[in-house]
Structure 1
Amino acid sequence: MYETRTLQEKIKLLLTILIPILITQIGMYLMNFFDTIMAGQAGPDELAGVAIGSNIWLPVFTGLNGIMMAISPIVAQLKGAKQEKEISSSVKQGIYLSIAAALFIGCVGFWVLDPILSLFTIEAEVRHVAKYYLITLGLGIIPLFVFNLLRSFIDALGQTKISMGVILLTLPTNIVFNYMLIFGKWGAPALGGIGAGLASALTYWVACFIIVLIIHRVHLLRIYGIFANWSPPSLKSWTEQLRIGIPIGFAIFFETSIFATVTFFMTVYDTYTIAAHQAAINFASLVYMMPLSISFALTIAVGYEVGAGRYKAARTYSYLGISLAVGTSVVAGLILYLLDDEVARLYSSNEEVIELTKAFIFYAIFFQLSDGFGAPLQGILRGYKDVNITLMMAFISYWVIGLPSGYLMANFTPLGPFGYWMSLIIGLTAGAVALLFRMLHLQQKKQTHKKCLNENFIP
């Protein structure tokens, strides 16, 4: 990261940060994408099982990983304020915290997995696949959390190409493991959807090993001494990170859990509907990697400028990111509309599943437009470390406004299962509008505060 003075320089720096993050996010999501596609080719029951498992795992992972994401604005602001000596300690404590979080969720999962699955009205084979998909996936939870913590540290320094390189190395590994373990190739057992979970866990270990090795060997990162002179866990440091991370994590949880809850309500329908719903969500989520990546890039750029007290530059980055995200979401909507049949056939050869998937994709066009507007706003507010109000906005938008309206439309109108997708559109739109007003208020407050400081300054 470095200070920019012109609009052209800001555009160039934002794209320099963004493009590797985008490739990294697409690579990470492609692991789940290939899990779903390859499990679907093993049969509808395997696809439905992976769908249930993924939708239980996703909100848990993203919520807890959101806590780890607190390291990104912390490091970005420390670097912007030229307090780089404090970065090493923050990252080390973040590693401790990520391991503790992984162990915690592993222990909780051991006790609650069966009760949660019993809530779903699903066939026995689908339940079996979902359960053991999650169990095998859990074998990689510690390296996954540590990897994401270290990746957030590297990205916050502006070295986003390094994370990109790690993912490009590990993605082929995931595909090979999937091929071996789902279909039973090269002497491995044919585990179906369960094999997809084990393949992902093994890939997480590979990714963590590579990123640790890079931090230890690359001079730009080694100078921070992340793996030298370890100090014991510090509750004070944990509290600082949790103060920022918990609101981030819960805000993400409230958003992603609404998708999981919609899948839960979908289980009253047949296996074909569940499979089609998962296929459409899976591809729409892949498209979402662009606004999500812009969000991460904005957290870094805005956090750096806020740390340096350059609020006008932070505001310029904000509007650049929002414009880019909305524009790319419009293009993505056109792609989904024009290529819906081709997308649906990636997931299944069953004609009934294909037609249902195409119908769900139509609704996905609209909710990803709302996501394209809301995601960069979340990244901007994280860059300011403004997370508490965002948490409340997420809860109200998704759970008070969105989901209840979807339940009513699904059960009391002819929309049926598509009513739940309307809840996604309503919730995401409400959230985006609320975040916009919060950003405008915060930017005005920061600018007024700086103006008052300048007026009262006596040389």
Structure 2
Amino acid sequence: MYQTKNFKEKLKLFMIILIPILITQVSMYAMNFFDTIMSGRAGASDLAGVAIGSSIWTPISMWIVGILMALSPIVAQMIGAREDKKIPFVVQQGIWLSVILAVGIIIIGFIAINPVLELMDLEARVQHVAKFYLISIGTGVLPLFVYNLLRCYIDALGHTKTSMMILLISTPINIVLNYIFIFGKLGVPAFGGIGAGIASSLTYFIMMFLSIWIVHTIRPFREHKIFKKVVKPSVKEWVEMMKIGVPIGSSIFFETSIFSAVTFLLSVYSTYTIAAHQAAINFASLLYMIPLSISMALTIAVGFEVGAKRLQDAKTYAYTGIGVGMFISIVSGAIIFLLDDQVAFLYSEEKEVLELTKQFLYYAIFFQFADGIAAPIQGVLRGYKDVNITFWLSLVSYWLIGLPSGWIFANYTNLDAFGYWLGLIIGLFAGAIMLYSRMYYLQRKLKQKLQMAD
């Protein structure tokens, strides 16, 4: 990151930060994307099992990853304030915290996996795939969290291309491992959907080792000497990080878990409906990586300018990112509308799944418009370290507006399963409106505060 003088320079720097993050996020989600596609080719039951497993795994893993994202604004503001000497200590404490959180997730998962799956009315094969998919991917919890912590540090320094390279190396490996473990190649048994979890876990270890090696040996990261001296765990530092990270993680959790909740509610429908729902959500989530990447780039850019007390520059970055997000949402919606047949065919050749997937995809078009506005604003607010209000807004919009309205539409209209998707759309738009109102209020408040100080 460096100071810019005009809008043209800001847009150029923003794109320099954004594009590698985008490639990284798409590559990272590509693992889930290919898990779903390749599991679908193994059969509708495997696709439905991976759907249920992913619905449990994704919100939990994203919650922890969101907590660790606290490191990005912390380090970005340290760099803006020229406090680089504090960075090694903070990063090491983040690593300690990621290890503790990983152990906690493993213990909870061991206790809860059977009771949670037994609550759902699933076919025996679907339940079997879901259970062992979760067990398999759970073996990669620790490396996944450590990798994401180090990635936040790397990105906060503005070297987003480095994170991009890690994923560009890892993603093809994941696809090959999927092919081997799902379909049974090179003497390995055909595990079906369970093999997707095995492949992802192995890939997480590769990502972690690559990131550790880069941080330890490549400039400019090695100049911070992150691993030169091991510092003792500091509960105080963990608490400070959690104050920022828990609201971030909880906001992401409430957003991602709403889709998981819908998947659970859809478990009363046929295996074909669950499979089609997962296929449509999977593709919509792939497109969501674009506004999410804009959000992450804005956190870095806004955090840097706020740390240097250049509030007008931070505001310019904010509206630049929101504008880019809105444009991308229109493009994403057009892709879904024009290529619905091709997208549906990616996931299954079964007629029932194909037709249902296309219908779900039409609802997903509206997801893109809401996410194109809401996700960038969340990134802006994180750059300001304004995370608590975002958490509450997410809770209200997704769980108090979106899910209840979806349940009403599904149970009291002829929309059936599609009613839940309509409820999601309502919740997403409500969240976008509330987030924009919060950002507008905060920017005016900070401007007044700075004027009073002068």
* Secondary structure of 2:220 counterpart: helix
- Take 1:65 and 1:165, find their aligned partners in 2: how far apart are those partners? 20
Paired amino acid for 2:165: G
For the pair 1:145 / 2:139, whether they are aligned, the reply is no
User: Residue deviations 1:165-196, cap 9 Å, x none?
Assistant: 00000111101110110000011111010010
- Take 1:46 and 1:219, find their aligned partners in 2: how far apart are those partners? 44
Q: Which residue of the partner structure matches residue 418 of structure 2?
A: 418
User: Residue deviations 1:241-263, cap 9 Å, x none?
Assistant: 00000111111111111000000
**Matching of residues 22-61 of structure 1 within 5 Å:** 22-61=22-61
* Secondary structure of 1:223 counterpart: helix
Q: Which residue of the partner structure matches residue 230 of structure 1?
A: 230
The total of aligned residue pairs comes to: 454
Shift of 1:229: 1.1
- Take 1:368 and 1:117, find their aligned partners in 2: how far apart are those partners? 31
User: Residue deviations 1:266-314, cap 9 Å, x none?
Assistant: 1110000000000000000001111000000000000000000000000
Paired amino acid for 1:421: W
User: Residue deviations 1:55-82, cap 9 Å, x none?
Assistant: 1101101111110000000000111111
* Secondary structure of 1:353 counterpart: helix
Paired amino acid for 1:181: F
Q: Which residue of the partner structure matches residue 277 of structure 2?
A: 277
Q: Which residue of the partner structure matches residue 258 of structure 1?
A: 258
Q: Which residue of the partner structure matches residue 120 of structure 2?
A: 120
User: Residue deviations 1:38-63, cap 9 Å, x none?
Assistant: 01000111000000000110110111
- Take 2:389 and 2:290, find their aligned partners in 1: how far apart are those partners? 25
Paired amino acid for 1:240: E
Aligned-CA RMSD value = 0.5
For the pair 1:220 / 2:220, whether they are aligned, the reply is yes
Paired amino acid for 2:252: I
The alignment-based identity, stated in percent, is 58
Q: Which residue of the partner structure matches residue 92 of structure 2?
A: 92
For the pair 1:453 / 2:450, whether they are aligned, the reply is no
Shift of 1:442: 0.5
Structure 1 runs of 4+ off > 3 angstroms? Answer: none
- Take 1:255 and 1:420, find their aligned partners in 2: how far apart are those partners? 14
Paired amino acid for 2:394: A
**Matching of residues 296-375 of structure 1 within 5 Å:** 296-375=296-375
* Secondary structure of 2:294 counterpart: helix
- Take 2:409 and 2:368, find their aligned partners in 1: how far apart are those partners? 20
* Secondary structure of 2:369 counterpart: helix
- Take 2:60 and 2:212, find their aligned partners in 1: how far apart are those partners? 24
Shift of 1:230: 1.1
Q: Which residue of the partner structure matches residue 105 of structure 2?
A: 105
- Take 1:235 and 1:373, find their aligned partners in 2: how far apart are those partners? 36
Paired amino acid for 1:183: F
For the pair 1:207 / 2:190, whether they are aligned, the reply is no
* Secondary structure of 1:395 counterpart: helix
- Take 1:356 and 1:176, find their aligned partners in 2: how far apart are those partners? 29
Q: TM-score, normalised by structure 2?
A: 1.00
Q: Which residue of the partner structure matches residue 393 of structure 1?
A: 393
Paired amino acid for 1:130: A
Q: Which residue of the partner structure matches residue 82 of structure 2?
A: 82
Q: Which residue of the partner structure matches residue 14 of structure 1?
A: 14
- Take 2:3 and 2:212, find their aligned partners in 1: how far apart are those partners? 29
* Secondary structure of 1:404 counterpart: helix
* Secondary structure of 1:127 counterpart: helix
- Take 2:95 and 2:182, find their aligned partners in 1: how far apart are those partners? 32
* Secondary structure of 1:122 counterpart: coil
Shift of 1:321: 0.1
Shift of 1:368: 1.8
Shift of 1:158: 0.2
User: Residue deviations 1:132-161, cap 9 Å, x none?
Assistant: 000000111000000000001100110000
Q: Which residue of the partner structure matches residue 196 of structure 1?
A: 196
* Secondary structure of 1:430 counterpart: helix
Q: Which residue of the partner structure matches residue 457 of structure 1?
A: none
- Take 1:316 and 1:118, find their aligned partners in 2: how far apart are those partners? 51
- Take 2:159 and 2:439, find their aligned partners in 1: how far apart are those partners? 27
- Take 2:342 and 2:371, find their aligned partners in 1: how far apart are those partners? 23
Unaligned runs of 5+ in 2: none
- Take 1:155 and 1:67, find their aligned partners in 2: how far apart are those partners? 16
- Take 1:150 and 1:105, find their aligned partners in 2: how far apart are those partners? 19
- Take 2:226 and 2:433, find their aligned partners in 1: how far apart are those partners? 40
Paired amino acid for 2:41: Q
User: Residue deviations 1:74-121, cap 9 Å, x none?
Assistant: 000111111111111110000000011011000000000111111111
For the pair 1:162 / 2:149, whether they are aligned, the reply is no
Paired amino acid for 1:208: M
- Take 1:325 and 1:150, find their aligned partners in 2: how far apart are those partners? 26
Q: Which residue of the partner structure matches residue 379 of structure 1?
A: 379
- Take 1:425 and 1:352, find their aligned partners in 2: how far apart are those partners? 24
- Take 2:161 and 2:65, find their aligned partners in 1: how far apart are those partners? 21
- Take 2:427 and 2:294, find their aligned partners in 1: how far apart are those partners? 21
